[in-house]
Amino acid sequence: MSAIDTLPPLRQVIATHGLSAKKALGQNFLLDLNLTAKIARQAGDLTGCDVLEVGPGPGGLTRGLLAEGARRVLAVERDARCLPALAEIAEAYPGRLSVIEGDALKVDVLAHLAPPVRIVSNLPYNVGTELLVRWLTPEVWPPFWQSLTLMFQREVAERIVAAPGDKAYGRLSILAQWRCDARIVMDLPPEAFTPPPKVRSAVVHLTQRDAPRAPADPAVLSRVVAAAFGQRRKMLRASLRGLAPDIETRISAAGLDPTARAETVSIEGFCALARELAG
């Protein structure tokens, strides 16, 4: 049992509130409060920060975030069964936890957050990548958040941090690393969760870079990268053919080899090509 707070152990919370895990909601709970406090610490100094948590479930990570000093936690949870357990946490930390019942893909959280904001979540696997992509592609940059500390399936975490030439390198790597620094900060085996998922998990920490790795128009870069990895085994001159009539010349003008394949091209290389095509 952990002493991070005076609330009951999570197994007891789950039994009291009948929170049997639902697969359809991606419910794999973390019940070790020392572990959830450790995840919260990976997010950096939380004091003075609002924290957005998607999918608090019975509140293990929520308690870690509050115990680690978050100024306020805004938690968005889709499963109404979790609300009474979260209300008990809110009572133990007066004025510091707000819970919105709803789908994180639909709820507008901005009105409820004050900067600086950090996002820390053990994400439901079914919506995790979509939420990450949204947080990485706001209409204006810098985004409303200062850092993202997120649990994913290990395979997704590897795609986020992959370098050119890695098997996992692709659109998600470029999207994540163009304007952020991204690294895996924790690795968790299935047994860390209740019930245990089939795969390993990992926590990725992303922080905004002061400047993007190279300048580019986000929409053009996104088009180039989508086309290049849409047919990743083809040479660039073939996969990008639809983007410009003189694509081979443009690829060369960007300093790239038209016969190269997408998985070997650096983020800076894709940015150079995006600038060339935008120009």
Which residues contact ligand SAM (rule: CB under 6 A)? Answer: 25-30, 54-57, 60-61, 76-79, 82, 103-105, 122, 124, 127
Q: Please answer whether residues 184 and 157 qualify as being in contact, where contact means their C-beta atoms are separated by less than 8 angstroms.
A: yes
Residue 17: CB minimum distance to ligand SAM, A: 12
Nearer to ligand SAM, 50 or 77 (CB): 77
Residue 275, number of CB atoms within 10 A of its CB: 18
Asked if the bond preceding 190 is cis, omega within 30° of 0, the reply is no
Residue 79: CB minimum distance to ligand SAM, A: 4
| Residue nearest ligand SAM, Cβ-based | 55
Residue 162: CB minimum distance to ligand SAM, A: 23
Q: Please answer whether residues 29 and 21 qualify as being in contact, where contact means their C-beta atoms are separated by less than 8 angstroms.
A: yes
Nearer to ligand SAM, 104 or 236 (CB): 104
Nearer to ligand SAM, 205 or 275 (CB): 205
Nearer to ligand SAM, 39 or 262 (CB): 39
- Tokens found for residue 109: 């959280």
Between CA 214 and CA 191 the distance in angstroms is: 41
Between CA 52 and CA 106 the distance in angstroms is: 14
Residue 196: CB minimum distance to ligand SAM, A: 12
Give the angle 18-22-25 at the CA atoms, nearest 5°. 125
Nearer to ligand SAM, 124 or 170 (CB): 124
Nearer to ligand SAM, 77 or 158 (CB): 77
Q: How far is CA 252 from CA 69, 259, 273, in A?
A: 52, 10, 9
SS3 call for 71 = coil
> Token pair 């209409």 is at which residue?
139
Nearer to ligand SAM, 106 or 167 (CB): 106
Residue 98: CB minimum distance to ligand SAM, A: 14
Between CA 96 and CA 67 the distance in angstroms is: 11
Between CA 144 and CA 139 the distance in angstroms is: 11
Residue 194: CB minimum distance to ligand SAM, A: 8
Residue 176: CB minimum distance to ligand SAM, A: 20
Which residue type sits at 274? A
CA 5 to chain CA centroid, Å, is 27
